[in-house]
Chains A and B, each alone.
Chain A
């Protein structure tokens, strides 16, 4: 008898699982979100009465809480601040430094705001600035190279001199770089900081490495007034976008970023959620492997490819509205030093074919693939899997290139593996995350991409190099920016050094009660702000 009962229970159990699976497939058909309001009401009530706590689900891991190693993260979560920060409209904002000026001989002088206090109540002195930056640069040689700093000198308690290796007009922008935050040096005996003390609106409370969870509390004494949130909990390492998405829909977390590509409409129509889609200073582009070698040593071939890409179609269908069309340069609209008068490359297959033909690429054997001197135009498009839009983008590119007679193959591999293939004939990298505001100064993007000594695809143009040198060494802002605008014209309209496709838009999903989130396109990928609160 017992035996039969047990079988029954087992059968019922499995049936239950099956039925719920069926229910699942039923549910997916209807886009209406299930009723999660109960959950939210409960949560909202308790929050209102007691604590304003924001729970964030973050896709990546936090490796360390040492500001020398994780400076950008701590800056984005507003624990630490830099001498200078950047506003959502790309302006440099005095932060720990009140003002700054170029003195002479590669020396910049920063005057500190005397009201800035660390979380432990002590005032920020010039010495703290020197100690923090020296320490960060020592721990992170990359930062040292990037900031181009030779030495820091304390002038007095609230004045610090920064001496650069070469004359560098871009230093103030560099001081807004996430990793250049100022913090109290409270190193433990092993030389690491386990309780970071910064100057921002949120204080570090604890970090649980086992669960990769960071807890912050409001800094009551913040100089511009205490933040409205009592505490912030950041759960790191939720790598699966579907998981993040369901967690925020269910109200387990209040705030997350980059849900699945297909979800935009559904999440936007969900009454319990806020969806914020905002520009981020990143783009999608095609990068030639080597522009000094055939076939890309001919500018007509590069331009042909630029004309062959139907950017609007890509933005509408592949990037699904989370991007806007780019006219050919990787500097996001709205940035002050952007050249807004570029001609660019509007989609035009006939023009593209004509340019190829001019360059000697013709389909002589009628197989639909152009060739020249016996060489068929057969190339490989490389891209990497971490950005979900890249593989379909590469495939769309493949089909658009096919239309002008270029045959290509798509290969998806780790980013680092791609750099080994740079010398392959005709290789193109389909790239995303092309960031132009890592450092809020034109030199960052333009030097990295187009300066002869710095770019990695053999682009050489003496005019461009001269303009870049000019930009480094003159201090008049408008004159400087004009030099960079001229560079943009040359690399885009004249040389077509890279084929830019679209500007990336970033998507943040929050609970509908989370108010006052102001996206900052210059930050990667998002940051929280002091005035956020939960209704």
Chain B
């Protein structure tokens, strides 16, 4: 276990350095002078105006933009290691604060979405596999292929129209009570649940043709017992890995969904920061997203070794 943890931590450092460096250098290669764009956002609040040279110079000086890129990046890493993620250009408040304040919104959304996708995806996959080639199977499979095929932004607007506007069941937007969480979570969770349902089905079918299932039936177990006791645990092994990956997609998806639902989370912060080139905030978001992603993967790895005794425990 210790080895896994150490490997993960090493991996984490590597990923954070690689992704922040990637983003850092890419953002600086964006067309238009960074200082000019920043000046527009900081001082003018409007991209369509042109800032004065004095303003640009002040920005350059204040944020050390004249230094070589590499040394800027090293300074950032050095400060980050010491817990200082920098200050947002736009708001002048610390990046950590900017992120922490929006953390609950994104975390809630992401977890409810993944929960929802598991709650729908797992049973749907099982039912489709168990009733292979039946109407139910075709129905569940078609729905899940549809779930993958619907662009999530499209689904989001559709859902607002049906459930908020026409039926009046949920608020159209905003962040607050549980009701306002439903639609964003559904739009974010639907593609994930479709992916999980499909994988669950094929994994289940794969497991059901294994010899040990025949052994279990040969023992006289009922079909349901065979599925619950013998098949499920095995079925979950490949699914768990995908759940980790899906979580990553989900975090990426928050970027669009949060914008549509005016959900005040990290995704929206990231989008506005990318356009305003608020590099410390972007870096902070990237670090946060990578950490979350890696933590989730760590959890899936652990549950993986819990589900599959062939992995991890064989050492002792």
B314 part of interface (Cβ distance < 8 Å):
no
Q: How far is the CB of B101 from chain A (nearest CB, A)?
A: 5
For window 126-185 of B, CB contacts with A under 8 Å fall at 127, 130-131, 136, 139-140, 143, 157-158, 160-168, 171-176
Within the complex, what minimum Cβ distance (angstroms) separates B295 from chain A?
A: 22
A212 to B45, CA, bound (A): 16
* Interface check B112, CB cutoff 8 A: no
A523: shortest Cβ distance to chain B, in Å? 13
A6 touches B127 (CB 8 A): yes
Interface positions, chain B 53-101, Cβ under 8 Å from A, are 54-55, 58, 90-93, 101
Please, which residues of chain A bring their CB within 8 A of the CB of B275?
A: 414
Top 9 nearest A-B pairs (CB, nearest first) are A416-B32, A142-B43, A417-B31, A145-B52, A142-B55, A238-B262, A433-B48, A247-B172, A141-B55
> Could you tell me which residues of chain B, from 35 to 56, have a CB within 8 Å of some CB in chain A?
36-37, 39, 42-52, 54-55
Q: Do the beta carbons of B160 and A242 come within 8 Å of each other?
A: yes
Contacts of B50 in A (CB 8 A): 448, 456
A21 contacts which chain B residues (CB < 8 A)?
A: 158, 162
**Residues in A lying within 8 Å of B, measured CB to CB:** 3, 6-7, 10-11, 14, 20-21, 23-24, 27-28, 34, 36, 39, 57, 61, 63-64, 66, 69-70, 72-73, 140-146, 192, 209-212, 235, 237-240, 242-243, 246-247, 249-250, 252, 384, 386, 413-417, 419-420, 431-435, 438, 448, 456, 524
* B124 in contact (CB, < 8 A): yes
List the B side residues contacting A456 at CB < 8 Å: 50
Chain B residues closer than 8 Å to A11, beta-carbon distance: 136, 139
Residues of B within 8 A of A140 (CB): 42-43, 55
CB of A246 within 8 A of CB of B172, answer yes
Choose among B51, B157, B165, B262 the residue that contacts A235 (Cβ–Cβ < 8 A): B262
Chain B contacts for A192, CB-based, 8 A: 92-93
Most interface-central of B39, B104, B163, B164 (chain A CB within 10 A): B164
If A20-B163, A210-B101 are given as contacts, then 13 extra A-B residue pairs at C-beta distance below 8 Å, sorted by A number, are A3-B130, A20-B166, A140-B42, A140-B55, A142-B51, A192-B93, A238-B173, A240-B157, A242-B260, A250-B164, A252-B173, A252-B174, A414-B31
> B54: which of A7, A145, A250 is its contact (CB, 8 Å)?
A145
State whether A141 touches B47 (Cβ < 8 A): no
* A66 closest partner in B (C-beta): B92
Q: Is the CB of B139 within 8 A of A61?
A: no
Docked complex Cα distance between A11 and B90 (Å): 49
Cα distance, A323 to B162, chains bound together (Å): 32
**Which B residue sits closest to A142, measured CB to CB?**
B43
B105 interface hit (Cβ, 8 Å):
yes
Q: How many residues of B contact A (CB 8 A)?
A: 64
A66–B43 Cα distance when bound, in Å, is 13
**Cα-based distance from A242 to B161 in the complex (angstroms):** 9
Contact B165 A246 (CB under 8 A): yes
6 sampled A-B residue pairs with Cβ under 8 A = A11-B139, A211-B175, A246-B160, A416-B31, A416-B37, A433-B46
B261 lies within 8 A of chain A by Cβ: yes
B residues whose Cβ falls under 8 Å from a Cβ of A: 30-33, 36-37, 39, 42-52, 54-55, 58, 90-93, 101-102, 104-105, 123-124, 127, 130-131, 136, 139-140, 143, 157-158, 160-168, 171-176, 224, 259-262, 264, 268, 272, 275
* A237 lies within 8 A of B168 (CB): no
Evaluate contact between B123 and A10: CB separation under 8 angstroms.
yes
Contact present for A144 and B54 (CB under 8 Å): yes
Whether A211 contacts B264 by the Cβ 8 Å rule is: yes
Within 8 Å CB of B143, what residues of A?
14
- Cβ of A142 and Cβ of B44 under 8 Å apart? yes
Chain A residues closer than 8 Å to B39, beta-carbon distance: 142
> Is the CB–CB distance between A27 and B127 below 8 Å?
no
Q: What residues on A are CB-neighbors of B90 within 8 Å?
A: 63-64
B120 to chain A minimum Cβ distance, whole angstroms, is 8
Bound complex: CA A359 to CA B163 (Å): 61
B127 touches A237 (CB 8 A): no
Q: Verify A141–B43 contact, CB threshold 8 A.
A: yes
| Whole-angstrom CA separation of A209 from B175 in the bound complex | 12
Residue ID in chain A nearest B37 by CB atoms: A416
Partner of B157, one of A39, A242, A415, A448: A242
Q: B165: which of A237, A250, A414 is its contact (CB, 8 Å)?
A: A250
User: Are A235 and B174 in contact, with the CB atoms below 8 A?
Assistant: yes
Contact B54–A240 (Cβ < 8 Å): no
Residues of A within 8 A of B167 (CB): 20
What chain A residues lie within 8 Å of B163 (beta carbons)? 20
A279 and B291 CA atoms in complex are apart in Å by: 49
A3 touches B224 (CB 8 A): yes
A27 contacts which of B30, B48, B104, B166 (Cβ < 8 Å)? B166
Contact A24 B101 (CB under 8 A): no
Partner of A24, one of B36, B162, B176: B162
Known: A210-B105, A240-B260, A419-B32. A250 touches B92 (CB 8 A): no
In the complex with contacts A145-B54, A242-B157, A250-B164, A416-B173 CB distance below 8 A: no
Cβ of B173 and Cβ of A247 under 8 Å apart? yes
Residue of B nearest to A72 (CB): B45
In the complex, which of the residues A14, A39, A72 contacts B139, with contact meaning CB atoms closer than 8 Å? A14
Task: Please determine whether A243 and B260 come into contact, CB atoms closer than 8 angstroms.
Answer: yes
Query: What is the CA–CA distance of A419 and B175 in the complex, to the nearest angstrom?
Result: 38
Which partner residue on chain A sits nearest B190 by CB separation?
A: A17
Minimal beta-carbon separation of B184 from chain A (angstroms): 11
Q: Is the CB of B45 within 8 A of A210?
A: no
Please determine whether A420 and B31 come into contact, CB atoms closer than 8 angstroms.
yes
B131 touches A7 (CB 8 A): yes
Nearest chain B CB to A477 CB, angstrom units: 26
Distance of A64 Cα from B97 Cα, bound (Å):
13
Q: Which of A24, A63, A243, A414 contacts B166 (CB 8 A)?
A: A24
